[in-house]
Chain A
Amino acid sequence: MRKKDNIAIKVENVTKRFKLYYDKPSTLKERLVFWNKKKSEERTVLKNINLDIKKGETVALIGVNGSGKSTLLKLMTKIIYPTEGKITVNGKLTSLLELGAGFHPDFTGRENIYFNASIFGLTKSEIEKRVDDIIEFSELGEFIDSPVRTYSSGMYMRLAFSVAINVDAEILLIDEILAVGDQHFQDKCFAKLRELRDSDKTIVIVSHSLGPIRDLCKRAVWIYDGEIRMDGPSGEIIDEYLKVCG
């Protein structure tokens, strides 16, 4: 029982297959006319993955493009579901797969904070407690009350990241979003992530920025072609990864 309590995310024998259609029949006509044409092919993106992530761990998922890292992350957040196997999540989970999901361009930055934070499952009082921190972190100042469509792309990303990072979940899943804003803001983001790491949060990061990852994460999992190739201390794994793929 105690052992189970320690685990934040448990991935058991997970396999994920996607159907690839060459010409996807999405209308009724196509379905009826081409009913006997089998134009799909199954591709196995993840093969029998087993992974335990303990509470408080900071884990990096590394691997070349198309190896299945992001799919694994999406499975953990329950955006998609495994074809076989099971994923158990223990604790409140927030995923930052894409910044600014659900931003409405006509609403002001402040209104979008409320909307975006509520997508992450926060209640009104929880958002109100954080809203000042979020605005301060974003460094948007007076622009916060202008419609988001007037923002530059950098401002947009800064606002989105500030919301996401201040949600305060126990488990944080991050997919290659660390390239946000200018150098100053990036440094700030990393400082915040380090702070979260040290405050006992569980963090899973998918990234290609190996330098910062090595510094941030203690553990790295190398995924190669849908399978776990190596799993261990981040320094070792990244060195090995660079030797093979670098």
Chain B
Amino acid sequence: MIKMIKSLYQYRELLKSNIKKEIRGKYKGSFLGVLWSFVNPLLMTLVYAIVFPFILRSGPEHYVTYIVIGILPWNFFTTVISQGTFTILGNAGIIKKVYFPREILPISVATSGLVNFLISIPIIFLFLLFSGIGFSWYILLLPLVILCQYILSLGIIFITSAINVYIRDAEYIINFFVQMLFYATPILYESSLFGDKAWILSLNPMTTIINSYRDILYSGVLPNMGLLFLVLIFSIVLLLIGIAVFRKLEKGFAEEV
């Protein structure tokens, strides 16, 4: 573990330039460039904001702001998972040719997702401002929630990216699973919609994370710290397991990709 951190430190420049490449390279050549990473979720929000009030009838107040707060973090989550799962295969070229700590690849996917998300936070703030919801002091807890989500998604992609090398189906299964998870997470609706069965949603760690964002930003109340803490512990454990799995499987990467 210490050895790994040491080698990551030695290769920090690669980590930095790889993150830059992830962020800039992806949209290079497109007209709007990096802006796409915000336009996309905003368009999604627009669609949901038009369609869902018809289905739900009585949605929460300031519904657009309500879903923006859910969709931007969710977009961060899905982008990291789908890109992260593919990252080892996608970099087959350099994996076969050069030695470098392979951990850099999933870490840079998660981190570039994080950077994109941080850049999009002002959009949430604009919505809060213009809807008249304003800000509460609990906003200081925002970094904790973001950190929690970062660790969770990093842990997941350490596992999925390594498995995807050996079983190519993983990518499709995971993408389907993530799509399903979208509806099992209170993004478009409130947990309370499920009444006394709302605890089922809490089995999904993203529920707690999205609810925490919403408590902090939308409702201006203290999030459920017990649950959030539990999710944090879960994420850290998952990350450690992920690293162990990754290190076990990485020796075969160059032969299998």
Contacts and interface: CB of A to CB of B under 8 A. Distances in A.
A118 B14 contact: yes
Interface in A56-109: 74, 77-81, 93, 95, 97-98, 101-102, 104, 106-107
Chain A contact patch, size range: 20 to 34
Given A29-B169, A77-B99, A79-B96, A123 B28 contact: no
Interface in B140-193: 166-169, 173
A101 B93 contact: yes
Nearest to B15: A118
Contacts of A31: 167
B167 A98 contact: no
B136 interface: no
A161 B234 CA distance: 46
Contacts of A154: none
A194 interface: no
Given A27-B169, A95-B99, A119 B25 contact: no
Contacts of A232: none
Nearest to B169: A28
Contacts of B10: 121, 123
B55 to A, nearest CB: 35
B3 interface: no
A124 interface: yes
A104 B99 contact: no
A114 B15 CA distance: 12
B98 A80 contact: no
B255 interface: yes
A225 B11 CA distance: 36
A97 B94 CA distance: 10
Interface in B1-51: 10-14, 16-18, 21, 25, 28-29
A95 B98 CA distance: 7
B254 A97 contact: no
A29 B21 CA distance: 35
Contact of A123 (B13, B25, B29): B13
A26 interface: yes
A74 B251 CA distance: 12
A118 B168 contact: no
B100 interface: yes
A131 interface: no
11 contacts: A26-B168, A27-B169, A31-B167, A78-B99, A79-B98, A80-B255, A93-B99, A98-B98, A104-B21, A118-B16, A121-B14
Given A102-B97, A118-B13, 16 more contacts: A26-B168, A77-B98, A78-B99, A79-B95, A80-B255, A106-B29, A107-B25, A114-B13, A114-B17, A115-B17, A117-B13, A118-B11, A119-B14, A119-B98, A121-B10, A123-B12
Interface of B: 10-14, 16-18, 21, 25, 28-29, 93-100, 166-169, 173, 251, 254-255
Interface of A: 18, 26-29, 31, 74, 77-81, 93, 95, 97-98, 101-102, 104, 106-107, 114-115, 117-124, 127
Question: Nearest 4 pairs between A and B by C-beta?
Answer: A101-B97, A118-B14, A118-B13, A28-B169
